[in-house]
């Protein structure tokens, strides 16, 4: 089972703190990159056959490329408010620029459709409370049961209380 464990920092590359892709993980369809960017630092992303979300963990970002632009207000901390985000379809090249510095998650999945990029406001994000007591959790549905249409990508955050 040790081949399923990726040690902290073992997949880092430049400003990318985490890079889990099908090649290093040994699977086919999905991946996750988390990048830390200083103010005005830019990350270029070519989506190839995958579709992505640009999901601020903390800080604000501008996403642009191929005639698309989204100004993401983001959030002060992942433990705080729900964030706005951008959907980027396959076969695109974009840049993600940190407006204030911070961290951004880039979940992705192998796509089967050609779709349009989309800015997704935080007001469209469905938040659910599940369970009770020490089994309670908050599920923030970014690419699940929301107006954003993806080919295959599903992405949510699950926040659980301490204890």
pLDDT by residue (tens digit) across 88-141?
999 999 999 999 899 999 999 999 999 999 999 999 999 999 998 888 999 999
Instruction: Write down the pLDDT at residue 161.
Output: 81
**Per-residue pLDDT at 145:** 87
| Reported pTM | 0.90
DSSP secondary structure of 65-80: ETTEEEEEEEES-TTS
pLDDT score of 1:
47
Which pLDDT does position 27 carry in this prediction?
A: 77
Q: Which two tokens stand for residue 140?
A: 């923030």
Confidence at residue 106, expressed as pLDDT on a 0 to 100 scale: 96
Give the least confident one: 11-20, 64-73, 77-86: 11-20
d(CA 102, CA 61): 9
């Amino acid at each position: 089972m040790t081949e399923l464990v990726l040690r902290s920092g073992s997949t880092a590359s430049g400003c990318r703190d985490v890079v889990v892709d099908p090649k290093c993980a040994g699977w086919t369809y999905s991946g996750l990159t988390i990048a830390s960017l200083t103010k005005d630092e830019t990350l270029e992303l070519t989506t190839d056959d995958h579709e992505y979300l640009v999901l601020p963990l903390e800080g604000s970002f501008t996403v642009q490329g191929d005639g698309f632009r989204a100004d993401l207000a983001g959030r002060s901390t992942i433990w705080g408010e729900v964030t706005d985000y951008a959907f980027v379809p396959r076969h695109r090249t974009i840049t993600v620029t940190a407006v204030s510095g911070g961290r951004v998650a880039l979940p992705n999945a192998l796509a089967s459709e050609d779709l349009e990029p989309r800015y997704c406001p935080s007001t469209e994000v469905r938040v659910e409370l599940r369970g009770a007591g020490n089994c309670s959790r908050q599920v923030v549905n970014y690419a699940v049961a929301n107006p954003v249409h993806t080919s295959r990508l599903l992405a949510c955050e699950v926040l659980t209380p301490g204890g």
